[in-house]
Structure 1
């Protein structure tokens, strides 16, 4: 399979369920239910920490283009987020931009709490004439963009209520809850999303309900990485060893939380430490019991007063609290 066709099919496959019996549940859900069901998940993400080449460029991007608030800054560090929480922390520690072809971060996603917030995120990109790619995954609506160093970021609206089943004959396609079978990576109708905005006035910042909703990693070995996150307690959603892809959930209806692939090539080394990319990311368990059970299945970690530091099989650094 050619790489472009392969990626087109599998990116969409990463956001689908393989259970026909899900259709009854899918028809019953709506956006408000999605947020309520998210609250039942046993873990979520804290801030994503990035290595970048310039605090100045990063600040302009995250505040003006993305619409986050600058919550703290120093000479070599800046924190960005909503009114109440930090979502992204940038460290000016890289000497060169993001380099493709290595293991490490593929992209991470900032999820909007509702369609209005998602539309405002896209509208802000239009205002700044910032390039992005719109994709409809049925289980979610997304746009993809790069930060100034080439780190890929996804803006996402979770829509699992639109999904009915996977149609796998003649390639991967998806039947929606409306009975229509579509491409697994349909082009997102941005104009329809923006039509719901009441006016052209942008809010001062992104919605306070925005959150880090999933992280997608380039793994040097998908089987090993998938097994590692299962030991942490995450729940298998999709697993396609033949396509070098897997993703896992945390107990809610939207199960695409930790994602991994080896589309860049198997056994590739992690990205050079002096390049822009992922520094570490944080997983926050809802209760101490869950955290303790996760740690009990691990042998290598560094315990500190505020949590546990560890690495996944690829070498991505994780902070568990």
Structure 2
């Protein structure tokens, strides 16, 4: 069976049939802020504040931090010369998770009010809004709904059966009117909930097998390893097992995105125990600095490991 790559991550995601738990004590790590290279800090600031609803937490020179009242989620650096370029390894997308239906509705309402282009998608096991920042970096807003998912059907095409008995496509158009029924706070000037968080990253890698091994070495737990589809995803020990996803849908052995292009600069993993951090450090080559241990995955993506 051949599965279209634009649908496949959603299917694997559904197959795990998991629940989202923010800050679950059973998870050994969570994400810190993701750092992005962008071409224009002013345009980026408008996007992250007006369109996404984050607060501008700090700005200095050509760098700005955005997030909730209590945590930084995204750091933007005005260092890129060109917009996001497709066909390279690096970031595929990253997701900001809404903690509940009303907050997901607020994310949607903000996009509608600002007439911002987005793609509403119902994967049965999750509801998603996909949009691009001003440089073409893909961002996902996610609400997990595993209670709606029953099984994947592959006969006669790829479909999803819900617990309501209805069979849908893998990427059904999301019912926006139904989402808006949960909207309580219509003031788009109010920031996103403090319980919103960076819930998962999806990376383009040059070799799925090598990257899958690497992320297991730093503690992540394999959820789906499907080399025939050039895809794998891994969890952090909790019920939600789609913390890190990797694919080579852009092509095997593709180089990392050029440094002058918009994209991911690096991301951070915060370990909840010194034991788990030390186990990760023992398995990979690191460069220690004041803000943590710097590591490169086999593709060349840069990440910082540190104690939460």
Give TM class, smaller chain.
Answer: over 0.9
The residue that corresponds to 1:157 in the other structure is 143
- Deviation for aligned residue 1:199: 5.6
- Deviation for aligned residue 1:39: 4.0
Determine the C-alpha separation between the residues in 1 that align with 2:129 and 2:77: 25
Contact map agreement 1:11 1:185 (CA 8 A) in 2: no
Counterpart secondary structure, 1:293: helix
Decide which of 294, 303, 306 is 1:309's aligned counterpart. 294
Q: Alignment length, in residue pairs?
A: 306
The residue that corresponds to 2:179 in the other structure is 193
- Deviation for aligned residue 1:157: 0.8
**Cα deviation code 1:126-178 (max 9, x no counterpart):** 11100000111222110000000000000001222222232233343322233
Task: Give the aligned CA root-mean-square deviation in angstroms.
Answer: 1.9
The residue that corresponds to 1:14 in the other structure is 12
Contact map agreement 1:16 1:238 (CA 8 A) in 2: no
Please list, as runs of the form range in 1=range in 2, the aligned pairs for 1:285-296 lying within 5 A after superposition. 285-296=271-282
Q: Which of 179-188 and 38-47 deviates more?
A: 179-188
Matched, 1:97 2:97: no
TM-score, normalised to structure 1, is 0.90
Contact map agreement 1:238 1:248 (CA 8 A) in 2: yes
Matched, 1:244 2:230: yes
**Cα deviation code 1:225-248 (max 9, x no counterpart):** 111111111111122111111111
Determine the C-alpha separation between the residues in 1 that align with 2:259 and 2:141: 26
Greater fraction helix: 1
Matched, 1:168 2:166: no
- Deviation for aligned residue 1:94: 0.5
TM-score, normalised to structure 2, is 0.94
**Cα deviation code 1:237-263 (max 9, x no counterpart):** 122111111111112222111001111
- Deviation for aligned residue 1:71: 0.2
- Deviation for aligned residue 1:209: 0.5
Provide closer, same or farther for how the CA distance between residues 46 and 36 of structure 1 changes in structure 2, counting only shifts above 3 A.
closer
Matched, 1:73 2:73: no
Decide which of 254, 260, 265 is 1:274's aligned counterpart. 260
The residue that corresponds to 1:261 in the other structure is 247
Counterpart secondary structure, 1:35: coil
Please list, as runs of the form range in 1=range in 2, the aligned pairs for 1:87-126 lying within 5 A after superposition. 87-126=73-112
Determine the C-alpha separation between the residues in 2 that align with 1:236 and 1:248: 4
Counterpart secondary structure, 1:38: coil
- Deviation for aligned residue 1:17: 2.1
- Structure 1 stretches of at least 4 aligned residues deviating more than 4 Å after TM superposition: none
- Deviation for aligned residue 1:208: 0.7
Provide closer, same or farther for how the CA distance between residues 37 and 76 of structure 1 changes in structure 2, counting only shifts above 3 A.
closer
- Deviation for aligned residue 1:125: 0.5
- Deviation for aligned residue 1:36: 6.7
Provide closer, same or farther for how the CA distance between residues 147 and 36 of structure 1 changes in structure 2, counting only shifts above 3 A.
closer
Contact map agreement 1:37 1:252 (CA 8 A) in 2: no
- Deviation for aligned residue 1:305: 4.0
- Deviation for aligned residue 1:58: 0.6
Determine the C-alpha separation between the residues in 1 that align with 2:162 and 2:282: 40
Matched, 1:86 2:72: yes
Determine the C-alpha separation between the residues in 2 that align with 1:68 and 1:36: 18
Determine the C-alpha separation between the residues in 2 that align with 1:277 and 1:227: 24
